């Protein structure tokens, strides 16, 4: 019985891991309550991105000293958040009256959103690699790539 339970857990975990790499499909919010919740979750993810980018931006600008531990931790977090973004961005809330900073183009061109999310993930991995290598000369550039990926998405999909 224990072997069967372990096998079921492994299968469920493998399915969950594999599903994170599958592209998210856009779905319409089913109710105003659903739209409000989806918007709150989406905005919460971006608050977490902001909280992890703040110290990195300070380091890139020279306002804070480089802290490899913070860079590594925040880069891992940003990679993880990028893994979740597609799911939280894919709920189209336009049909309901919810306060959102998202442009309509977000849902109209979702494949482009997914590319930009992948760019964030790749940039976060790049910072992790620079930290692992101890390449201080690469830190500013690696942080800059993360910031550029964020800006690119904001420019195209966030209202001013």
Q: What does the block give as tokens for 1?
A: 């019985």
Half-sphere exposure of 127 (CA within 13 A, CB side): 35
**15 appears as a binding residue in the annotation:** no
- Residue 82: closest CA among 145, 30, 12, 136: 145
**153 appears as a binding residue in the annotation:** yes
**150 appears as a binding residue in the annotation:** yes
Q: Which residues fall within 8 angstroms of residue 9, CB to CB, at 6 or more apart?
A: none
Q: Which residues fall within 8 angstroms of residue 156, CB to CB, at 6 or more apart?
A: 103, 105, 112, 116
- Distance (Å, rounded) from C-alpha 153 to C-alpha 20? 20
Q: Which residues fall in the annotated binding site?
A: 150, 153-154
Q: Which residues fall in the annotated binding site for heme c?
A: 150, 153-154
């Amino acid at each position: 019985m224990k072997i069967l339970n372990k096998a079921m857990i492994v299968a469920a975990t493998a399915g969950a891991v594999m599903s994170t790499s599958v592209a998210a499909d856009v779905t319409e919010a089913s109710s105003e309550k659903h739209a409000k919740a989806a918007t709150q979750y989406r905005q919460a993810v971006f608050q977490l991105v902001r909280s992890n980018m703040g110290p990195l931006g300070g380091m890139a600008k020279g306002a804070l000293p480089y802290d490899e531990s913070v860079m590594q931790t925040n880069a891992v977090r940003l990679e993880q958040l990028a893994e979740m973004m597609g799911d939280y961005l894919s709920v189209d809330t336009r049909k309901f009256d919810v306060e959102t900073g998202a442009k309509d183009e977000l849902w109209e061109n979702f494949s482009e959103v997914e590319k930009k999310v992948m760019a964030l993930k790749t940039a976060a991995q790049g910072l992790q690699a620079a930290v692992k290598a101890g390449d201080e000369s690469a830190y500013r550039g690696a942080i800059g790539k993360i910031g550029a990926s964020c800006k690119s998405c904001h420019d195209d999909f966030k209202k001013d």
